Chains A and B, each alone.
Chain A
Amino acid sequence: MATVKFSIYRYNPEQGGAPVMQQYTLDQIEPGMMVLDALKRIKVLDESLSFRYSCGEGVCGSDGLNINGINRLSCITQLDGLGGRVEIRPLPGLPVIRDLVIDLSLFYQQYRAVKPYLVRTDPEPEVEVLQSPQQRGKLDGLYECVLCGCCSTACPSFWWNPDKFRGPAALLQSYRFLADSRDQITEQRLDELEDSYKLFRCHSIMNCAQVCPKGLNPTEAIGRIKQMMLGKMI
């Protein structure tokens, strides 16, 4: 039954003033308890604290937070590995709406821009468009993204140009459809990314791959997009 001290980012734009770090202490922390469980207990003590969550098991991607300096999902981050002090901040780089809740509009805008859906130019077939196991295999490591935003908000290139650079999450999804044998607008997708910002602000910093709660590697996907562009040029 350990005691853990929490330092949590608090900001309410309606009340004005600068953001502050508020301290909370929780007793009776049990082994295996997640950060989200602790936040829910703090919410009982102080109902003014705001944060997002939904499924609570790492599937919905609603509760991405910066915990002890690293972007991760609070529902699958155990308190055991964090020591006796836990600092919780909103994901960095995007506007804070309140406390730990951020405005993800730019993130979703970039996601929408990569057309994250299959596009067919052929007439609708009578039956499903089939894939071989090999073709389907190419989507492994791409389709699992839950759009939590941990990667894009850990990316310095996205911090500086969130309105122009697609960011790792959107580019991973872009490659997910470029790699899909059923998609038929490969050329159009590649042309759309060919400028100084959308793809090429990526400098392979690899923060995205380091923080992804699903263990995905957006940097590698971005590299593959560059290879496809190169192949198209040559």
Chain B
Amino acid sequence: MSRQLSGLKAWLWQRLTAVYMALFTGYFLLTLATLPAPLHYYHWHDWLSATGPAVALALFYVALLLHAWVGIRDVVLDYVHNAALRAALLGLLVIALFAAGLWVVKILLMVV
């Protein structure tokens, strides 16, 4: 993963995902503002039953995980110079992000 996603590509993905997340956050806040208070679970459920919002939310999490991978990997490259420790930290990061991704899939499948 680090081989394919380094240098210019990593930098570009970080920016593209940031733009998408910013747009989605605006859309999400607007949606929240238009829902009647108090909010209930069925509002959330109704919102995600439509294909558009469900796909947009799923893409948001893909963007978030990619963004987190590039950003945290950058921090590790900056500060951790010991090869073994770096490999261990990046490995842990991949596992953690992958687990978070699976968790999101599980939650989304439950709702949708």
Contact = CB atoms under 8 A, between A and B. Distances in A.
B102 interface: no
A157 B78 contact: yes
Main secondary structure of the interface of B (DSSP, over half): helix
Contacts of A197: 77
Main secondary structure of the interface of A (DSSP, over half): loop
Most chain A C-beta atoms within 10 Å of own C-beta, residue among B2, B6, B12, B78: B78
A230 B7 contact: no
Contacts of B79: 160
A203 interface: yes
Contacts of B63: none
A161 interface: yes
Interface string B67-99: 000000010011100000000000000000000
A233 B8 contact: yes
Contact of A229 (B2, B8, B10, B74): B8
A226 B8 contact: yes
Interface in A164-203: 194-197, 199-201, 203
A134 to B, nearest CB: 28
Contacts of B2: 196
Nearest to B8: A229
Interface in B4-37: 6-8, 10-12
A195 B77 CA distance: 12
B8 A196 contact: no
Contacts of A230: 8, 12
B12 A196 contact: no
A226 B11 contact: yes
A200 B78 contact: no
A109 to B, nearest CB: 18
Contact of B78 (A195, A201, A233): A201
Interface of B: 2, 6-8, 10-12, 74, 77-79
Q: Sort A-B residue pairs by CB-CB distance and give the 9 closest, nearest first.
A: A196-B6, A194-B7, A229-B8, A160-B78, A195-B7, A200-B7, A200-B11, A196-B7, A194-B8
